[in-house]
């Protein structure tokens, strides 16, 4: 499965698709990027006159790239429109803000994938190669 095929199978669309490109994917992990467009609606109120990306959105970016993209790759042909995806755990430490128009990279390492549960160690890195946030994300990804 190509990187483009993985992105096309994501169950999201704009404005809630937070994957621009996958740089690497194999059975042990994935690396991808996303650029935060300054026109995204949440910047209007978070925060007044000093917009930064909400932590919940940073977590979502890490989940989409680091968990769902990897899950699609691992399931390969078993992944279809009836595949169920549910986030079960997030444990994230936030270290730096992410501003409008910033491009970030997400690096995910698989901890395990068994019985339909995928657990990964994830980190987000900004363009200055600084760690923005990191932690653990898990979810259930089952093909029906």
Cα separation of 24 and 30, whole Å? 5
Residue 26: per-residue pLDDT: 97
Distances (CA, A) of 35 to 25, 75, 99: 19, 27, 10
Domain spans, the chain: 3-142
Distances (CA, A) of 75 to 2, 79, 112, 139: 13, 5, 13, 14
Average pLDDT, the chain: 95
Whether pLDDT at 144 is above 70: no
Candidate list 46, 96, 117, 121, residue with the active-site label: 46
Burial call 93-113: b when 16+ CB within 10 Å, e when fewer: eeeeebeeebebbbbbebeeb
Q: Is 24 a catalytic residue?
A: no
- 116-126: average pLDDT: 97
Structure confidence by residue, pLDDT tens digits, 16-33: 999 999 999 999 999 999
Q: What are the residues whose beta carbons fall under 8 Å from the beta carbon of 4, sequence distance 6 or more?
A: none
3-142 — its CATH code? 3.10.129.10
Of the candidates 131, 83, 137, 86, which has an alpha carbon nearest to the alpha carbon of residue 110? 137
Strand partners, 86: 140
What is the side-by-side order of every strand in the sheet holding 117-125? 21-26, 29-35, 103-114, 117-125, 131-142, 84-94
Q: How many Cα atoms sit within 13 Å of 11 on the Cβ side?
A: 14
Residue 48: per-residue pLDDT: 86
**DSSP structure class, residue 107:** E
Whether pLDDT at 121 is above 90: yes
pTM to 2 decimal places = 0.95
């Amino acid at each position: 499965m190509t990187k483009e095929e993985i992105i096309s199978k994501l169950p999201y669309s704009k404005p809630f698709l937070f994957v621009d490109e996958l740089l690497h994917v194999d059975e042990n992990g994935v690396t991808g990027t996303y650029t935060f467009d300054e026109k995204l609606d949440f910047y209007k109120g978070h925060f007044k006159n000093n917009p930064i990306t909400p932590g919940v959105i940073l977590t979502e970016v890490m989940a989409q790239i680091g968990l769902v993209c990897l899950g699609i790759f691992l399931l390969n042909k078993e992944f279809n429109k009836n595949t169920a995806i549910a986030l079960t755990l997030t444990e994230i430490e936030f270290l730096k803000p992410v501003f409008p128009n910033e491009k970030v990279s997400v690096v995910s390492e698989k901890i395990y994938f068994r019985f339909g549960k995928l657990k990964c160690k994830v980190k987000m890195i900004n363009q200055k190669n600084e760690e923005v946030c990191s932690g653990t994300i898990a979810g259930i990804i089952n093909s029906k």
